[in-house]
Amino acid sequence: MNTRREFIQKISGSAIALSVLPGYLPAACTTLPNEAYNGPVLKVAILGLGNYANRVADAMVSCKKAKLTGVISGTPSKIKAWQTKFNIPEKNCYNYENYDAIKDNPDIDAVYVITPNALHSEEVIRVAKAGKQAICEKPMAINVKEGEEMIEACKKANVKLLVGYRMHFEPHTLEIIRLRNAGEFGKIKFFQGLSGFIIGDPNQWRLNPKLSGGGSMMDIGIYSVNGSRYMTGEDPIWVNAVETKNDPVKFVQGIDETIQFQLGFPSGAVASCLSTYSMNWLDRFFLDGTEGFAELYPATGYDPTQGRTNKGPLDFPFIPHQTIQMDEMAAIILEGKKPVLPVDGEEALKDLKIIEGIYKSAQSGRTVNLKL
C-alpha cells in the first residue's frame, strides 16, 4: 500500500553545505543530540496504534523531554506488542471504552491522538475532560465547527491543544523563514506548493468520507495549505480552486482526487498549489521574492528534507521530525516555550477554514473570500 511515507523521491548527488549558523540549530531543536538534559519529562500516551503512531513511538525513543508511557487502542494484540516493545506497564494501557480513567493516572501527562480524522474531535474532548494535555494529528478535525469545539473544550479544561505540525520544527524550514524575516529574499511575490502521491488500497480509511472528511486535501494537501502560510509569513484572504476527478470509482463522492488552488495574500503575494492522490513525486515548496528564492524538495516527507536558496544549498543534520516535534512540544507544555511557528489549535483552525474555502470554491466555481 502506498502511503505518505512512500511517495518521497530522494534527491541524489552531493551538495556543498552551508555553514551551520552558530546558535541557530539549538533554536530549531530544544536539545542537541550531544547535550545532556536533566529537566522534567512529558509522559505521553498514544491513542491509536496504526502505522504513523509506530513512527512517532520509534522516534520518541530518542527524545529527551518526552517519553512514551501509555497506549490506548481497540486492538488487544497491538497493546501487547507495544507493551513488549516499549516496556509499557499494564496499568498504563487502555481501550477506547475506558480511557477516561487516565484522569487518575499520574504516569500520563498528555495524549497524542493519531486516529482517522473524523474521530479527532470526540477523542480530544475526552482527553481534555480527563485533564490531560492534548496533542492531535492534523487535520485537527473534519470541519471548522468541530475544531472550534475542540479548542473550547481544552480551554475549559485548562489544558493545551497542540497539533502535529512536525515541519514547524524542521531546521531547513526554519532557516528559510529566518532568512525571509531578515529580508534576504526581498518582497515575497509567489509561493508554489506541490503535495501528492498515488494512494493505494481502495479500502483504507482515507478513502472513506465518513472517516476522512475528504480526500487528498484532508491528508497530503494540508501541507501545501499550511506551508503557503509559513513560507510567505502571511494568512490568505481569498482562494479559488478547481477539482479534477478521473477515477470516480476509487474516489467516491466526498473524496477529492486532485485539487488545484490559488491563494491571495494581503501583501499582493499569490500561491499556486496542487493536492492529489493520483500523482507521485509531488513534494516541493518554492518561494520567490524580488531579491532571491528558496526551495524545499523534498519539503514535507519523512525522509531528510533538502533545501536551497539562490545563494546555495542548505545542509542541516537530520534528526527524525517526530523526535524534534515531541521534544519541542514537551518544551511548550512544560516550559511555556513559544515556538517560531505556532502549533496550537488556533493555528490548525486557520487551515480548516482555508480547506473549507477550497472545497466551497471548487464546488461553486467562484473565488471565496477568507476570514481567518
The CATH number linked to 98 is 3.40.50.720
Give the Å distances, CA to CA, from 33 to 30, 177, 329.
10, 23, 17
- How do residues 312-325 score in pLDDT, each as one tens digit? 999 999 999 999 99
What pLDDT is recorded for position 17?
Answer: 36
Cα dihedral 19, 23, 29, 35 sign? positive
What is the mean predicted confidence (pLDDT) over 24-31?
50
Same domain, 289 and 214: yes
Q: Omega before 139 cis (within 30°)?
A: yes
Catalytic residue, from 52, 99, 223, 277: name it.
Answer: 223
- How do residues 323-343 score in pLDDT, each as one tens digit? 999 999 999 999 999 999 999
- How do residues 115-166 score in pLDDT, each as one tens digit? 999 999 999 999 999 999 999 999 999 999 999 999 999 999 999 999 999 9
Same domain, 47 and 187: no
Amino acid at 134: A
Q: Lowest mean pLDDT: which of 7-21, 99-113, 347-361?
A: 7-21
Q: Which residue has the cell 509559513?
A: 230
Which residues, including other chains, have CB under 8 Å from residue 211's CB and lie 6 or more apart?
116, 117, 118, 119, 205
Q: Which of 121, 136, 163 is the last residue of a domain?
A: 163
What pLDDT is recorded for position 29?
Answer: 56
Same domain, 137 and 176: no
- How do residues 174-201 score in pLDDT, each as one tens digit? 999 999 999 999 999 999 999 999 999 9
Instruction: List b or e across 3-31, with b for residues whose CB sees 16 or more CB atoms inside 10 angstroms.
Output: bbeebbeeeeeeeeebeeeeeebeebbbb
What pLDDT is recorded for position 32?
Answer: 61
Same domain, 135 and 176: no
Residue 335: inside a domain, yes or no?
no
Residue 334: inside a domain, yes or no?
no
Asked if residues 193 and 224 have their Cβ atoms less than 8 Å apart, the reply is: yes
Residue 336: inside a domain, yes or no?
no
Q: Which of 163, 188, 216 is the last residue of a domain?
A: 163
Count the neighbouring beta carbons within 10 Å of the beta carbon of residue 203: 8
What is the mean predicted confidence (pLDDT) over 240-252?
98
Same domain, 47 and 102: yes
Count the neighbouring beta carbons within 10 Å of the beta carbon of residue 47: 28
12 pLDDT band, cuts 50/70/90, is: very low
12 or 293: whose pLDDT is higher?
Answer: 293
36 pLDDT band, cuts 50/70/90, is: confident
Residue 109: inside a domain, yes or no?
yes
Assess whether 353 carries a catalytic annotation.
Answer: no
Give the count of domains, the chain: 2
Residue 305: inside a domain, yes or no?
yes
Same domain, 225 and 349: yes
Same domain, 118 and 263: no
Assess whether 223 carries a catalytic annotation.
Answer: yes
4 pLDDT band, cuts 50/70/90, is: very low
Is residue 122 packed enough to be buried (19+ CB in 10 Å), middle (13-18) or exposed (0-12)? middle
User: CATH no. for residue 267?
Assistant: 3.30.360.10
Same domain, 197 and 89: no
Q: Which of 146, 163, 180 is the last residue of a domain?
A: 163
**Is residue 26 scored above 60 in pLDDT?**
no
308 forms beta bridges with 295, 313
Same domain, 198 and 125: no
What pLDDT is recorded for position 35?
Answer: 78
Count the neighbouring beta carbons within 10 Å of the beta carbon of residue 67: 17
Map 51-78 to HEC letters.
Answer: HHHHHHHHHHCCCCCEEEEEEECCCHHH
Q: What is the mean pLDDT of the chain?
A: 93
**Is residue 284 scored above 90 in pLDDT?**
yes
| All cell numbers assigned to 119 | 474521530
Cα dihedral 340, 337, 147, 255 sign? positive
Q: Which residue has the cell 475542540?
A: 150
Inter-axis angle of helices 321-335 and 51-60, nearest 10: 70
Residue 329: inside a domain, yes or no?
no
What pLDDT is recorded for position 19?
Answer: 35
What pLDDT is recorded for position 13?
Answer: 31
What is the mean predicted confidence (pLDDT) over 241-268?
98
Residue 21: inside a domain, yes or no?
no
Can you spell out the DSSP letters for 225-293? HHHHHHHHTS--SEEEEEEE-S-TTTS-TT--SEEEEEEE-TTS-EEEEEEESS-SSEEEEEEEESS-E
**Is residue 98 scored above 80 in pLDDT?**
yes
Same domain, 225 and 249: yes
Catalytic residue, from 64, 65, 132, 138: name it.
Answer: 138
**Is residue 304 scored above 90 in pLDDT?**
yes
- How do residues 255-264 score in pLDDT, each as one tens digit? 999 999 999 9
Tell me the Cα Rg of the chain.
Answer: 20
Same domain, 220 and 197: yes
DSSP 8-state class, residue 137? P
| Centroid of chain to Cα 11 | 22
28 pLDDT band, cuts 50/70/90, is: low
Residue 365: inside a domain, yes or no?
yes
What is the mean predicted confidence (pLDDT) over 107-121?
98
Same domain, 234 and 360: yes
What is the mean predicted confidence (pLDDT) over 22-51?
76
Closest C-alpha among 205, 199, 344 to residue 275: 199
Q: Specify the pairing of strand 188-196 against strand 238-244.
A: unpaired
pLDDT > 90 in the chain, percent: 90
| All cell numbers assigned to 214 | 475528504
What pLDDT is recorded for position 274?
Answer: 98
Asked if residues 252 and 269 have their Cβ atoms less than 8 Å apart, the reply is: no
pLDDT > 70 in the chain, percent: 91
Where in the sequence is the domain holding 88, given as residue range(s)? 39-163
**Is residue 18 scored above 80 in pLDDT?**
no
